[in-house]
């Protein structure tokens, strides 16, 4: 089939290596068509004629790099996705806060459009029975487009159709008039979360330690094992001794058994006794 833009194997290889170096995403040969359709949109916006032109443009236009990254990330997510994690989190935070009397600190480290972080915030509000639970949530993603959506907290009604009526009434405003068909998360829920751009491949990490829970779900699958290990070795010193790492349903981390021990249900606890400083070096 004739394509709108010239896209050679060399172009594909250049894109693969650029996205792997920048954000860790490993694209298999099978992703050629996906890459074509995602990046073709950038060529249209920039009125370029072929992929090689776009790649040369990327080399000298730093500002385009973010759009390139945004185009190639996969942002599939949902409210209360893998819902057993939120049931587990509720018990974990109640136990930790009653014994330590400290604020429970959570990081949603690849938060996409925000549903994961908002589900954590709703869980905290329900668990402690207050709009101001003793919980802070940092939510980050490398994709700046999804973060803009996350901060806005506005979703199409189809995104919330699996939520209970009670949660809908409690946590969302329904759009009226021009906004019919969309919902907005209540500001009290938003107030618990700080959304920020962050690349898990960054060096160093500006995140302070003493975290009680890290959600790193459905992102490691895009990385190769050495990259996963490097990131896990950075999570390790940030977690409190009783802290937990929540991973995606297909993420197992057997290759990092020296760092994290499975608790079942893709929940991991840090192996204790490791030198907390510089474990990733
Ligand atoms: C499939 S979504 C998962 C969202 C959510 N954690 C969940 O499980 O529903 C994966 C997210 O990881 C983000 N991502 C990919 N590479 C990243 C990196 N190097 N640093 C931070 N986020 C990254 C993508 O932008 C995307 O929003």
pLDDT tens, 62-108?
A: 999 999 999 999 999 999 999 999 999 999 999 999 999 999 999 99
Contact 243, 269 (CB under 8 A): yes
What pLDDT is stored for residue 279 in this prediction? 44
What pLDDT is stored for residue 253 in this prediction? 93
Is 190 near ligand 1, meaning CB less than 6 Å away? no
Is 117 near ligand 1, meaning CB less than 6 Å away? no
Is pLDDT above 60 for 280?
Answer: no
Between the alpha carbon of residue 244 and those of residues 48, 55, 213, 240, the distances in Å are: 47, 41, 5, 8
Ligand 1 mean position, distance from CA 51 (Å): 25
Reduced to 3 states (helix: H, G, I; strand: E, B; else coil), residue 52 is: helix
Instruction: Name the residue among 238, 217, 67 with its Cα closest to residue 148.
Output: 67
Instruction: Report, as an integer, the average pLDDT of 242-246.
Output: 97
For ligand 1, atom 6, which residue shows the shortest CA distance?
A: 217
Is 218 near ligand 1, meaning CB less than 6 Å away? yes
What pLDDT is stored for residue 110 in this prediction? 98
Ligand 1 mean position, distance from CA 111 (Å): 6
Q: Which residues are catalytic?
A: 38, 141
> For 36, what's the count of Cα atoms within 13 Å in the CB-facing half-sphere?
14
For ligand 1, atom 23, which residue shows the shortest CA distance?
A: 142
- Ligand 1, residues 142, 197, 235: which to mutate, most atoms within 8 A of Cβ? 142
Contact 231, 216 (CB under 8 A): yes
For ligand 1, atom 19, which residue shows the shortest CA distance?
A: 23
**161 CB neighbour count, 10 Å cutoff:** 9
pLDDT classification of 278: cutoffs 50, 70, 90: very low
Is 150 near ligand 1, meaning CB less than 6 Å away? no
Instruction: Report, as an integer, the average pLDDT of 207-234.
Output: 96
Is 217 near ligand 1, meaning CB less than 6 Å away? yes
Is 23 near ligand 1, meaning CB less than 6 Å away? yes
Contacts of 108 (CB under 8 A, 6+ apart): 116, 117, 120, 137, 138, 139, 140, 215
Counting from 1 in the atom list of ligand 1, the atom nearest the Cα of 70 is 25
Counting from 1 in the atom list of ligand 1, the atom nearest the Cα of 81 is 9
For ligand 1, atom 3, which residue shows the shortest CA distance?
A: 218
Tell me the per-residue pLDDT of 258-275, one tens digit each, with 9 for 90 and over: 999 999 999 999 998 765
What pLDDT is stored for residue 115 in this prediction? 98
Query: What DSSP element (H or E) covers 90?
Result: helix 84-100
Is pLDDT above 60 for 133?
Answer: yes
Tell me the per-residue pLDDT of 139-168, one tens digit each, with 9 for 90 and over: 999 999 999 999 999 999 999 999 999 999
Tell me the per-residue pLDDT of 22-72, one tens digit each, with 9 for 90 and over: 999 999 999 999 999 999 999 999 999 999 999 999 999 999 999 999 999
Please name every residue paired with 108 in a beta bridge, in sequence order, or none if there are none: 139, 215
Is pLDDT above 50 for 16?
Answer: yes
Higher pLDDT, 277 or 219: 219
Is 199 near ligand 1, meaning CB less than 6 Å away? yes
Tell me the per-residue pLDDT of 171-206, one tens digit each, with 9 for 90 and over: 999 999 999 999 999 999 999 999 999 999 999 898
Instruction: Report H helices in 133-186.
Output: 144-152, 165-171
What pLDDT is stored for residue 273 in this prediction? 72
Extended strands (E) in the chain = 104-108, 135-141, 154-156, 172-174, 182-185, 193-197, 211-216, 239-247, 260-262, 267-270
Is 25 near ligand 1, meaning CB less than 6 Å away? yes
Domains and CATH numbers, the chain: 9-72 (1.10.155.10), 84-154+184-270 (3.40.50.150)
Contacts of 213 (CB under 8 A, 6+ apart): 89, 92, 93, 104, 105, 106, 107, 243, 244, 245, 246
What pLDDT is stored for residue 246 in this prediction? 98
Ligand 1 mean position, distance from CA 145 (Å): 12
Is pLDDT above 50 for 6?
Answer: yes
Ligand 1 mean position, distance from CA 103 (Å): 26
DSSP codes of every residue in 185-245: E-HHHHTTEEEEE--TT-SS----S-EEEEEE-SSGGGS-HHHHHHHHHHHGGGEEEEEEE
């Amino acid at each position: 089939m004739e394509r709108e833009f010239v896209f050679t194997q060399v172009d594909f290889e250049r894109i693969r290596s650029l996205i792997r170096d920048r954000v860790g995403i490993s694209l298999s040969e099978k992703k050629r068509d996906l890459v074509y359709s995602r990046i073709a949109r950038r060529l249209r916006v920039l009125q370029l004629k072929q992929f090689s032109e776009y790649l040369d443009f990327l080399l000298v236009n730093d500002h385009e790099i973010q759009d390139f990254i945004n185009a190639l990330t996969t942002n599939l997510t949902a409210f209360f996705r893998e819902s057993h994690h939120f049931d587990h989190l509720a018990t974990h935070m109640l136990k930790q806060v009653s014994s330590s009397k400290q604020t429970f600190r959570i990081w949603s480290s690849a938060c996409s459009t925000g549903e994961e972080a908002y589900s954590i915030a709703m869980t905290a509000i329900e668990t402690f029975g207050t709009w101001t639970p003793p919980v802070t949530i940092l939510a980050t993603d490398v994709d700046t487009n999804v973060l803009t959506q996350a901060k806005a907290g506005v979703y199409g009604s189809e995104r919330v159709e699996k939520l209970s009526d009670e949660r809908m009434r409690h946590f969302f405003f329904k759009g009226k008039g021009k906004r019919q068909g969309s919902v907005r998360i209540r500001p009290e829920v938003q107030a618990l979360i700080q959304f920020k751009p962050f690349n898990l491949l960054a060096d160093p990490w500006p995140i302070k330690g003493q975290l009680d829970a890290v959600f790193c779900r459905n992102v490691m699958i895009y990385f190769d094992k050495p990259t996963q290990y490097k990131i896990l070795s950075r999570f390790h010193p940030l977690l409190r001794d009783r802290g937990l790492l929540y991973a995606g349903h297909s993420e197992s981390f057997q290759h990092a058994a020296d760092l994290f021990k499975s608790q079942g249900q893709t929940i991991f606890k840090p192996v204790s006794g490791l030198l907390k400083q510089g474990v990733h070096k």
